[in-house]
Structure 1
Amino acid sequence: MSINIPRGTQDILPGEVEKWQMIEEKARELCKKFQYKEIRTPIFEHTDLFLRSVGDTTDIVQKEMYTFEDRGGRSLTLRPEGTAAVVRSYVEQKMFGYANQPVKLYYTGPMFRYERPQAGRFRQFVQFGVEALGSADPAIDAEVIALAMSLYKELGLKKLKLIVNSLGDKDSRNAHREALINHFQPRIEEFCSDCQSRLEKNPMRILDCKKDRDHELMKSAPSILEFLNDESKVYFEKVQKYLSDLDIPFEVDPNLVRGLDYYNHTAFEIMSDAEGFGAITTLCGGGRYNGLVEEIGGPDTPGIGFALSIERVIAALAAENIELSINDEIDCYLVALGEEAQDYTVGLLHKLRLAGFSAERDYLDRKIKTQFKAADRLNAKYVAILGEEELKANKINVKTMSTGEQAELPLDAFIEKFKETYK
């Protein structure tokens, strides 16, 4: 009986995984420039963490979490997103006491959601995200957005659209909440069961419903921007000013609410405008979550962050026909003729690698022509040929694959001479 990969997951094979490595490395380089430090949290957490942070009215909590009991009867959940775990660590490790504030962190790793697999969406997917905790300055909102936009641009993506919105502070959201309840309540029976249950708990989540998005009441629903108090308006205006100062084009979309309960003030999404990208155009989403640290047991601490899917980055690159420049060359391939020469190249290969070169040899006792073909497939810059005669004469021949030129080097000083001649 054959065993297949679980639905909604994927194998990332050699030849493709190098693209992932390059994207992740670009992200790490950017984070170093922006002074964000890496954090690594467990792949599973106590279920209560996500119930308290993500929100029990969200699709993630209600339908998508992989939750199980361990042998001690504790309810654990594979992490569906990264922010909650980072904030839990921030509180538990007392990072609010660090001398350098705000605390600026980034993470990358697998997340898990039980949802319908489709193009660019998987049940196990890899997120890269950043969190900045400890500052209520709108300038850091702009910085976080700039970091995300910079990553996409450094990878060569051009067809991008940034949309922003303000969800306001607690008072603004409460006023908007009442207006939404009054708007939807008379006809709530026309909406799906999820929307009906959200009416009292979190009516803003109704605006994010995929089933009822074409209902006429959705189009006429009161906008959060109509209920922003003066403080929230000034905050949002500053965020927009800073984005303009950074030469980052954006659009204000009052219908952007994001899918998680912990957002307030700034919310944003980066979308792909590439033709043929697909129905789901969102590449990245994030926003401010003042109050989340307090909800998880820490002091009142402002925070903002974003998360993006590496799978969606790969899909966007394909949609724009962008090929990442991957260096898949090796420095040297050792071709050996005869048993003694083959034995000798075992140690020689190891010395080459210790000297800093990427190198390979034949392990299948193939003929010289087949070994050269293998070297060619591996994009070897140089091939070093060692036969029984060369071994006795203490020499080795090196061929430059791009030109066909050959040179003879002393075998007992091969590593040093190769380094001097071909570095």
Structure 2
Amino acid sequence: MNNYIGPQEIIKKKNDFLYPCTHHFYKNPPQIVRGEMQYLFDSEGKKYLDCFAGVSVMNCGHCNPEILNAAIKQMKTLQHTTTIYLTEPIVNLAEKLANILPGDLKHSFFCCTGSEANEGALLLARLYTGKKNFIALENGLHGRTYLTMSTTAIPMWRADPNLDTSVTFVPNTHAKNKALHEAAEESLNAVEQLIKTKGAENFAAFIAEPIQGNGGIITPPKWYFKKLKELLQKHNILLIIDEIQTGFARTGKMFAIENYDVVPDIITVAKALGNGMPIAAFCTNDKIAASFTKPSASTLGGNPVSSATAIAVLDYIEKNNLKERAEKLGAKLKEGLLNLKNKYPIVKNVRGIGLMLGAELLKENGDPASEEVDFILEQLKDKGVLLGKNGLERNVLAFQPPLVITEYDVDFLLEKLDKVLSLL
């Protein structure tokens, strides 16, 4: 006999004590009470294969013993002092990050959330360039603080009706009824035209996710970011790459932008860095870092516990070859999804890299199959699989599991998805 209050009581308390903006998945949601690597368990003892990882957070698995032990050891020793006092974990983490960040990126400013990291990156770009405005991609999501919400182009996440006007959006690399390379060329042309029209002297930075998560796993062609970086460099505009969802081995590389052979000027990280412990950072090179001289701090950012945890995360990724694992199992999952695409006409597109994949569902008339996605998620949940959804119309199945999944798990997922698609 357990003492869990159950899903309905949780929903009642949500309605009574949280804000109405706090939504949840499923018509009949379970109460999740326990996690064990790639699995979650509900209040009734039912086991689920987690294929969303808390939105790309639990890359190393739920309640990973090695990572938990490092966090608990630090908790028992020193939890918090803030950065005005000298502690070792924060500088050891910064050093470890410097050794794995792309190119010449070396300096880190630690905070607690992806929104904070992106806000800090945008501030840093203004401080370094002395310019105010930003360019962002349509379908992008960068946070819920004022400036990051202003750079977000997904209507459902733009809650503030009076957002900053210093942001101009350009098309991303996905357009209906257009080939990927064509849409990508149009995106670059739009950036170039914008710079000509409004003047390079007005733009501090361009911010983009290497793969747009919430936007629908929008994955640019391999050459896109290289051409974009060349264009921006020519006009002294910085490139900020938001790796909040894509970072830390998910795409078969430590950072997704490495798949594009590009070194950004500023990179932001969060989510998987802490494997459930809140920690984030914006990172840059010597030259740009030197422009941030006014006093600044994040009270809890990079505290000893989160830093020790993040070090354990990076150690675990390296020791267990999670980059190679994500690449191999991602290829297996993608092949399986493409087979299902050939079998079921409702699956119109499969995209992504490594274990960050999306399957876009469209009806026969070309409309987004949003209701069908909800049906699939509900049915999969009943069959022991928790899957995500994204896209502007919420019609993209999102596959972002913990990177510790096995070949058996991939087969299990594909088998259950096949059965559910056959019900449509």
Give the TM-score range, shorter chain.
Answer: under 0.3
Greater RCO, 1 or 2 (C-alpha within 8 Å, sep 6+) = 2
Answer 1 or 2: which has greater strand percent: 1
What TM-score, normalized to structure 1? 0.22
What TM-score, normalized to structure 2? 0.22
